[in-house]
Structure formats: structure tokens, C-alpha cells
């Protein structure tokens, strides 16, 4: 039996005295002893704040993203030892893949998003500057900076790897250190992976700490810069949310609680339709993956009343093929629950639900177990119930059996289906299986406010659908009400939960220096053409004011013939005069952009490697034959790459006519080489 250690203040520590013994979910044999007594929790928080936080904040988003990538690669190379130990949790290889490689994949997803969508800096500019004065001499800019505390993650037993990694990917990318507290029942798998994470050296000391066992007085020491996240039961989450230190210090608290997620079968999905077959497969999958121990599993299957009987028949047939037993035994498709205590909790919940529903498939007293002793392991068969009157049965919308259990309930019409979906009082996810887009639309707008995620499945997307119960790194994970009211993941949205938004006011010059993005009104410099400068030589405010070019009617007509854009506003004087926006023939907007490029480009080979885009293009004043245009191009922002010999440069581009009126405003994006100019 392995005695688990915690990783605190830079070294591994064993708990003092005897701890709680965790049993193998399949064999019932002791696996690990868990004990956190003797840990100084206040010191752990201080260590994270004073050692881990400053070290992380010295790195930019791109550097932290690269370290996430390196960590993912290190764990991927060692995945087989995680799979081997994961069997003790009762998980099959498929179950463990979701937990282990799903978690590693989340690290990789955030590594990519960090480099693509965040700047190579330690802060994020939020939105455009706000001009606060008449002359533009007083402006404001919102910025996002990392919190200077610690993220405390209190995780659930069902995903000992993914539950840890999906949270760490985000807080580490944000530049905030973490203390991870896994659920004791499966902490042995978390501890093994955590050991490999520390061995990897991917992140600086103090960025990662681990508590195996109880949290003691940890929460007594949290402050306003800390974040506490919790995944687990709603009752425990409510107690934590009301902790005096969390309340007094307005600590950011995110809860993801188990919810009674629903899946709705559309009225068009008759037994001979692809959607019906997809629905049956999904219900069975959500009942049996991880033995139904998923916070996103389908607990309520809502179907048209006329389709309930054939649905029960189809589910019975498919559930009869599920083989329960030791995940290592050949042919087993569903393993054990995490513990016998968890099995007993599920049975207690089933008994409560059965007061308003009938068990129509599965018998918890009589079922076969392959390759294991049913009396020693935490086994249950899939249990399907039917509630004929779900409007009158509150229990089916209030009690969750956190295992291989689902309840079928009928509805009469779309409004009825929406009402039943809402009866869950807040869910992580709901799904609709239908080829009727109008029905899908009615369900989405009727139930979206009660859900964190909604999945619509039909024959068109089924092949690529990731499924009802699969949280994705790029999508928000969380939900209102019973689901906890929190939000995680969601791509870079998740990073923002660990950053503080601050409005900074001052002069354009000062805010340009602070935010490293040039603001109109800040100083400019005109010397060598900025396209002749390398990334290092370029400074914010480097500007070129071009020569001028007069637009002729021949130019407009040539551009129309050359491109095929013969829209009447460019070619038909009478029709253009009748248009209140133009009052006569005007130049093409893209011709104006082309003229502008011809005016500001320095044509010779140099540090500018490529133009890769235009952002925020707006045409503001019509250009007529005879108008004379001029361009001001200013270096607005630089974003160096850490692994390539170039960086991105954003150029503020303003095109004016002979009267000084702005004709077009946009940002040109270029790749500019590093190194000495040639």
C-alpha cells in the first residue's frame, strides 16, 4: 500500500500518523493511505505568493504556453504508468483515456491558444482606448494583469487527472501558482501524475503544490488575490462558498457542481430515423462511460410521449450488451464505481427516485460481474428508470444518482420539453437530438439560460460530434443554479478569471508606455522609413506620412473592369446620385486600400517579411473622382515570437482626403524580422 505524500513549500512531505485507507475499486484491496496532517497550510499559500507567483509573472504568456506544451509532452511519454494505476479507480481503458489523455490534450490546447491569441507579454489590453477629454489629451485603457495570489483547486474523485490538468492549464497560463487538493478516493493517481509534473521541471518552483488529504485550515488563510475553485457536490460547494475568509475577503470562488443534465429527443426522431439511433447510443454511452460518474452525464432523458415505449425497448436491448467487470478482463465494457461507499450512495439515490419512477432495465441485486468478485468491488449494472408523470414528480428533477443511472420522462410539445429541461434548475450541459431546426431553435432559446452548454445533434454533424458529456477546452464548462454558477475553460475566456481588469487613466504618451500600444495623441517619430527597421529597431510611434495621389474616373473604371466589381455606386452616375449615402459615383473601398498600400509600402527587400492581414477596416468618407488621398502609417504594437526569428507588428493606418477628412481607418498586420537591418 502506497502512503501518499503532499508537495508543499518545495519538498515532499508525509502526513503525521495514520491516515485514511483508500481501497481498490475492483478488488477491494488497500491501494493508498491519505493523510495531510502536519502540513502548514498558511505557509503553503505564502510560498505560492512569494516564490511561485513572482517566478511565473517574470514569464510572458508565450513562455508559459511553451512550458505547458513541454509538460504535456513529458506526461504523454509516461502515460502508460497512469493507465496502469487508473485501473484501481474502476476505469476501463476508454474511461482512462478521457481522464489521462483528455487532460494532457487540454494542456496542449491552452499551449496553442496562449501563443495564438495572447500577446507575448505579461498583461492583456482589454478593448480600445477611451477618449475622456475634448482634445484627446486625457484617455483611458482597460488592462488585465495576473492576480498575485494562489489558485486553490479542490477537485472531485471522478477525474483525478483531467480535473487537475484542465484547471492548471488555465491558471498557469495566466501566471498564477496553484495548490491542488484531489479527492482522497482517487488521490493516488493524481499524486503519481503530480510527481511526474514536478520531475519535468517545466514550471518554476512554487508554481505547483499538492495536498493529499484534508485541507485543514487552508481556507482560513485565503485573501483577496487568491482564487478558490471547487468541483463536487452542491452541498459541499455551498459550505465552502460561505467560508468566513472567502466572504470577508471577496475571494473569487468558482464552483462546478453535479447537475441533473437532460437530453431531449425531437418529435421528428422516430425509431427509423438516424437521430433516434444516435440518441439511444448517446444515452447508453453517458450511462456507462466512467460507470456514469461524470458531472456531465445524462440524468434525465426527455422524449416525446409517443416515442417513450420504443425508446425503452431500444435502450433495454443495447444496455443488455453492456459487460460489467474488471476493466482488465477481456470483453468488459463498464468498470466499477470509484468506491463501495459511492456505490451505496448511488443505490440510496435510486431508491429515492424509484418512489416516483419505475425501474425498467437493470437489477442492482442480480447482475453478472466478469473477472472480479461482485462482493469486493464497487460494481453496479446500468439502471434505467421511467417516470410517467415528470411534472408531478419533483424528485426526478432534484435527486441525482451519480452513477450508471438515467430516467426517461415524456413530454407533450416543445414548450413542455423546455419546461422539463428548466426543472433541473441549472445544468452543466443539455442536448437535443433532432433534424428539425425550428424545434432545436425553440429549445435553445427556451432553455439556454439554464445551461452552460447545449449540444444539437443530427445526422449532419454526428460523425464529428464530441458528444453530450465531453467538456472541450475551447468551450465554457460550468452552468447556472444547481450546476454551481461557475465557469471554467472556454479558451482564453478561462484565463481572464485569473486576471484583474483595471481601468488606467492618463495621457496618450503615458498609456502608450504602460500598455505598449501606441495611442493617437502620443508622440510619433519620422526618420528612416519604418519598413526598413528590424523588430528591435522599431519603436512605437515610428511613422511615415506618405505622398499624395489623386483618384480619377479612369482609375475607378479600370479597377471595376479589372476586378469585376461593377456595383452601381461605382459605375452608374444616376443610380449613385439617388443613393443617400453617396450622391454620385464613388471609388471602391478596396481600391482605396490598394492606393494606400501603394503610397506607404517601401518596395525593396528588407525586414518586413509579409503582410498577413487587415483588422478593423472602416470606410468613413466616400471618395469621389478628383479627391486626393494621403496616408499616415504608425507602428502601433509589437508582438515578438519567442521561438521564431520574427514578430508581428500592428500598424495604425489612416487615409485622409484633401480636406483632412478621414476616408478609411484600419490596422495593417505584418511579420517583421529580428536582427540587424540590412
Q: Cite the active site residues.
A: 256, 295
The C-alpha atoms of residue 83 and residue 640 are separated, in whole angstroms, by 39
Distances (CA, A) of 373 to 122, 348, 381: 55, 22, 14
CB 78 within 8 A of CB 180: no
| C-alpha dihedral sign at 90, 95, 96, 98 | negative
d(CA 571, CA 674): 46
What ranges make up the beta strands (E) of 583-645?
608-619, 628-640
How far is it, in rounded angstroms, from Cα 400 to Cα 145? 39
Question: What whole-number distance in Å separates Cα of residue 250 and Cα of residue 227?
Answer: 10
Take residue 425 and report the three cell numbers written for it: 434548475
* CB-CB contact of 52 with 207 (8 Å): yes
- In degrees, rounded to 5, the angle at the alpha carbon of residue 221 between the alpha carbons of residues 219 and 224 is 95
Q: Which residue, chain included where needed, has cell 504568456?
A: 61
Strands 252-257 and 262-265: unpaired
232, exposed or middle or buried, with CB in 10 Å at 0-12, 13-18, 19+? Answer: buried
* Cα(229)–Cα(220) distance, integer angstroms: 15
Quick check: 404 and 359 in contact, CB under 8 A? no
476 membership: H or E segment, kind and range: strand 476-477
What letter would DSSP give residue 49?
Answer: I
State the sign of the Cα–Cα–Cα–Cα dihedral 466, 472, 474, 475.
positive
The C-alpha atoms of residue 295 and residue 158 are separated, in whole angstroms, by: 9
Q: How far apart are CA 157 and CA 74, in angstroms?
A: 24
Residues near 658 by beta carbon (within 8 Å), at least 6 away in sequence: 548, 627, 628
Q: What are phi and psi of 454, to 5 degrees?
A: -130, 130
Amino acid at each position: 500500500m502506497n502512503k501518499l505524500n503532499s508537495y508543499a513549500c518545495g519538498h515532499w512531505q508525509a502526513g503525521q500518523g495514520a491516515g485514511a485507507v483508500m481501497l481498490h475499486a475492483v478488488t477491494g484491496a488497500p491501494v493508498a493511505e491519505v493523510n495531510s496532517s502536519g502540513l502548514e497550510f498558511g505557509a503553503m499559500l505564502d510560498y505560492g505568493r512569494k516564490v511561485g507567483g513572482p517566478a511565473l509573472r517574470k514569464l510572458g504568456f508565450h513562455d508559459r504556453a511553451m512550458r505547458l506544451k513541454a509538460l504535456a509532452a513529458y506526461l504523454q511519454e509516461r502515460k502508460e504508468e497512469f493507465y496502469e494505476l487508473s485501473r484501481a479507480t474502476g476505469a476501463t481503458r476508454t474511461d482512462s483515456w478521457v481522464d489521462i489523455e483528455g487532460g494532457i490534450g487540454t494542456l496542449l490546447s491552452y499551449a496553442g491558444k496562449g501563443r495564438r491569441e495572447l500577446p507575448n507579454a505579461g498583461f492583456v489590453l482589454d478593448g480600445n482606448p477611451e477618449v475622456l477629454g475634448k482634445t484627446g489629451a486625457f484617455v483611458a485603457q482597460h488592462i488585465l494583469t495576473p492576480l498575485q495570489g494562489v489558485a486553490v483547486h479542490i477537485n472531485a474523485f471522478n477525474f483525478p487527472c483531467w480535473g487537475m490538468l484542465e484547471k492548471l492549464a488555465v491558471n498557469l497560463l495566466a501566471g498564477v501558482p496553484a495548490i491542488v487538493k484531489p479527492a482522497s478516493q482517487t488521490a493516488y493517481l493524481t499524486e503519481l501524475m503530480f510527481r511526474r509534473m514536478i520531475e519535468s521541471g517545466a514550471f518554476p518552483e512554487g508554481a505547483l503544490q499538492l495536498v493529499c488529504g484534508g485541507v485543514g485550515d487552508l481556507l482560513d488563510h485565503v485573501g483577496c488575490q487568491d482564487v478558490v475553485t471547487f468541483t463536487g457536490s452542491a452541498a459541499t460547494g455551498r459550505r465552502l462558498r460561505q467560508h468566513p475568509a472567502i466572504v470577508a475577503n471577496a475571494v473569487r470562488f468558482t464552483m462546478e457542481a453535479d447537475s441533473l443534465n437532460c437530453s431531449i429527443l425531437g418529435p421528428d426522431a422516430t425509431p427509423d430515423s438516424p437521430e433516434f439511433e444516435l440518441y439511444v447510443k448517446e444515452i447508453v454511452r453517458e450511462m456507462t462511460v466512467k460507470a456514469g460518474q461524470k458531472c456531465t452525464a445524462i440524468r434525465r432523458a426527455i422524449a416525446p410521449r409517443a416515442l417513450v415505449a420504443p425508446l425503452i425497448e431500444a435502450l433495454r436491448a443495447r444496455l443488455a450488451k453492456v459487460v460489467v467487470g474488471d476493466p482488465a478482463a477481456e470483453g468488459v465494457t463498464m468498470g466499477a464505481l470509484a468506491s463501495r461507499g459511492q456505490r451505496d450512495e448511488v443505490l440510496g439515490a435510486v431508491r429515492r427516485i424509484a418512489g416516483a419512477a419505475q425501474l425498467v432495465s437493470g437489477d442492482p441485486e442480480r447482475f453478472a460481474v466478469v473477472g472480479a468478485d461482485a462482493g469486493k468491488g464497487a460494481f453496479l449494472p446500468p439502471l434505467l428508470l421511467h417516470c410517467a408523470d415528470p411534472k408531478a414528480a419533483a424528485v426526478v428533477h432534484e435527486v441525482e444518482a451519480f452513477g450508471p443511472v438515467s430516467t426517461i420522462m415524456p413530454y407533450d410539445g416543445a414548450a413542455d420539453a423546455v419546461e422539463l429541461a428548466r426543472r433541473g434548475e441549472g445544468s452543466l450541459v443539455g442536448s437535443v437530438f433532432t433534424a428539425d431546426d425550428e424545434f432545436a431553435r425553440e429549445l435553445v432559446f427556451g432553455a439556454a439560460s439554464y445551461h452552460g452548454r447545449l449540444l444539437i445533434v443530427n445526422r449532419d454533424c454526428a460523425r464529428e460530434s464530441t458528444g453530450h458529456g465531453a467538456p472541450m477546452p475551447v468551450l465554457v464548462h460550468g452552468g447556472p443554479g444547481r450546476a454551481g454558477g461557475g465557469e471554467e475553460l472556454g479558451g482564453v475566456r478561462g484565463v481572464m478569471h485569473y486576471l484583474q481588469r483595471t481601468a488606467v487613466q492618463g495621457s496618450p504618451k503615458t498609456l502608450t508606455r504602460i500598455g505598449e500600444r501606441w495611442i493617437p495623441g502620443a508622440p510619433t517619430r519620422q526618420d528612416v522609413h519604418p519598413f526598413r527597421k528590424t523588430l528591435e529597431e522599431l519603436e512605437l510611434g515610428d511613422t511615415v506620412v506618405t505622398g499624395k495621389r489623386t483618384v480619377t474616373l479612369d482609375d475607378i473604371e479600370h479597377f471595376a473592369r479589372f476586378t469585376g466589381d461593377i456595383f452601381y455606386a461605382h459605375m452608374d452616375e444616376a443610380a449613385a446620385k439617388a443613393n443617400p449615402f453617396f450622391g454620385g459615383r464613388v471609388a471602391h473601398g478596396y481600391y482605396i486600400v490598394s492606393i494606400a498600400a501603394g503610397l506607404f509600402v517601401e518596395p525593396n527587400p528588407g525586414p518586413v517579411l509579409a503582410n498577413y492581414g487587415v483588422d478593423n477596416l472602416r470606410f468613413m468618407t466616400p471618395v469621389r473622382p478628383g479627391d486626393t488621398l494621403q496616408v499616415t502609417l504608425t507602428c502601433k504594437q509589437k508582438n515578438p515570437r519567442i521561438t521564431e526569428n520574427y514578430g508581428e507588428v500592428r500598424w495604425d493606418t489612416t487615409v485622409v482626403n484633401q480636406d483632412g477628412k478621414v476616408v478609411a481607418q484600419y490596422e495593417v498586420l505584418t511579420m517583421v524580422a529580428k536582427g540587424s537591418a540590412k
